[in-house]
Amino acid sequence: MRYDAVFNVSGSGLKAQMLRMEVVSSNIANVNATRTPEGGPYRRREVVFETVPVQNGFENALLHSTAASLKGVEVSRVTEDASPFLRKYEPNHPDAGPDGYVLYPNVNIVAEMVNLQEASRAYEANLSVITSVKSMIAKTFEIGR
Partner 1 sequence: MKILDWRQVDLLERGLNISTQRNALIASNVANVDTPGYKSQDLAFTQVLDGETNRLALRRTDPRHLPAETGAGAGNEVVESTAPARADGNNVNIEDEMIKLSQNTMDYNISVQLLAKRLNSLKSVVTSPK
Q: Does 59 bind partner 1 (CB under 8 A)?
A: no
Q: Does 16 bind partner 1 (CB under 8 A)?
A: yes
Considering beta carbons, is residue 1 or 99 the nearer one to partner 1?
1
Considering beta carbons, is residue 102 or 122 the nearer one to partner 1?
122
Q: Looking at 33-41, 65-73, 78-86, 102-110, which segment touches partner 1 (CB under 8 A)?
A: 65-73
Q: Does 33 bind partner 1 (CB under 8 A)?
A: no
Contact flags string 102-121 toward partner 1, x per CB under 8 A: ----------------x--x
Q: How far is the CB of 123 from partner 1 (least distance, A)?
A: 10
Q: How far is the CB of 120 from partner 1 (least distance, A)?
A: 12
Closest listed residue to residue 42, CA positions, set 127, 129, 107: 107
